[in-house]
Amino acid sequence: MKTTNMPSYEELVSVISYLSQIPDEDVRKLGFTVVIDGRKATIKHIRGALRACKQALYRQIRSVFVIQPEKFLDQQKLNFEFIKEVYQFKCTLISLHKLLRFVDATQLPDALGGTLHYDPYLWILLRQKIENYVNRANSWIENNKRRDNTISNKCDEKTFKKDSLNSNALLKIGDDLLGELMQNSRTNLLKNSDWDNAVQHVDFLMKQIRDIKEKSSEATHRKQRYVPLKLLEYHSEGVRNLVNWILGAGERWLLTLHEIGESYDDAKQLLKEHNELERKSIVCSVLC
């Protein structure tokens, strides 16, 4: 942690809190080792960094190493600061070349004598992409689960197409992000367990999206098959009712239709009704 151009205390606490949530739970249980580069820092900056660590990493700190300032007088002031200020973790003032005795070289950037490939700009860019993707994917997953759990769920074809487009876009972004992470890992630009966890997390979210998309597709296809079958069922029921009527009350009613009409107009009206009944009967027989 460089202490030049220090952010505000609140910003520093927020950043440290965020960084502490990146490792998985098993790693966090081991505790954190904090390294503060105090070679060109003021006592005020180092004090602010220590207090921010105390607030953000309460009882999670195993040890703190402060790389001692270059000037002897500043070293003495810092030693006095450690004596005066009571911290709930061990603070050690140490020279840069002795730091590797306590911290593995793979966990330190080259600026501190380590072998960790660390590009802060690339790191921030990828973390932003990961956070944005995780937020979008989780939101999409939760919305679809909430919709599926709603009793009055009405997933029409338009909604299905919209969800399908959104899911396809999320899967495309996820594939691109995984490719970028894997590429950086192969070139050793970013190679540690935190990025491996990020790859697994993104891959897990994509699997959830695919599963939900597949289930939604199956539900839509079932509905599309169900509608014609339901219409056919209604039609069959109507035909059965008509046949039952003809064989029952309808037959008795038809037997009463033997009038010939007392006048020309009456006969013409009876003929019209007969032709209409015959036409309906033909239509019903065709539908059957």
Q: State yes or no: pLDDT of 264 exceeds 90.
A: no
Task: Determine the pLDDT at residue 183.
Answer: 78
264 is a domain residue: yes
Choice among 43-52, 110-119, 256-265 with the minimum mean pLDDT? 256-265
Mean pLDDT for the stretch of residues 177-196 = 73
List CB contacts of 31: < 8 A, sequence separation 6 or more.
Answer: 60, 61, 62
Task: Determine the pLDDT at residue 160.
Answer: 47
* 204 within 8 A of 137, measured Cβ to Cβ: no
Shared domain check, 104 and 126: no
The two counts, helices (H) then strands (E), for the chain are: 9, 3
Shared domain check, 136 and 79: no
Shared domain check, 140 and 84: no
* 168-186: pLDDT as tens digits: 889 999 999 988 888 776 6
- Give the residue numbers spanning the domain of 199: 121-152+161-216
* 137-159: pLDDT as tens digits: 999 888 887 776 554 445 554 55
Mean pLDDT for the stretch of residues 231-253 = 70
* 254 within 8 A of 202, measured Cβ to Cβ: no
Comparing CA positions, the residue from 80, 6, 86, 87 lying closest to residue 41 is 6
Task: Determine the pLDDT at residue 119.
Answer: 81
143-151 contacts at long range (C-beta below 8 A, 24 or more positions apart): 144/212, 144/216, 145/212, 148/215
The domain spanning residue 88 has which CATH number? 3.40.50
Comparing CA positions, the residue from 114, 39, 34 lying closest to residue 75 is 39
Shared domain check, 89 and 57: yes
Q: State yes or no: pLDDT of 3 exceeds 50.
A: no
When the pLDDT of each residue in the chain is averaged and rounded to a whole number, the result is 77
* 57-104: pLDDT as tens digits: 988 998 899 998 877 777 787 777 776 676 778 888 888 889 999 998
pTM to 2 decimal places:
0.60
221 is a domain residue: no
Q: Report the length, in residues, of the chain.
A: 288
Shared domain check, 110 and 125: no
Q: How confident is the model at residue 116 (pLDDT cuts 50, 70, 90)?
A: confident
Classify residue 51 as exposed, middle or buried by CB count within 10 Å of its CB (0-12, 13-18, 19+): middle
210 is a domain residue: yes
Domains contained in the chain, number: 3
d(C-alpha 36, C-alpha 41), whole Å? 10
Shared domain check, 102 and 185: no
236 is a domain residue: no
Task: Determine the pLDDT at residue 33.
Answer: 92
Task: Determine the pLDDT at residue 211.
Answer: 87
Residue with the larger pLDDT of the pair 37 and 249: 37
Task: Determine the pLDDT at residue 198.
Answer: 85
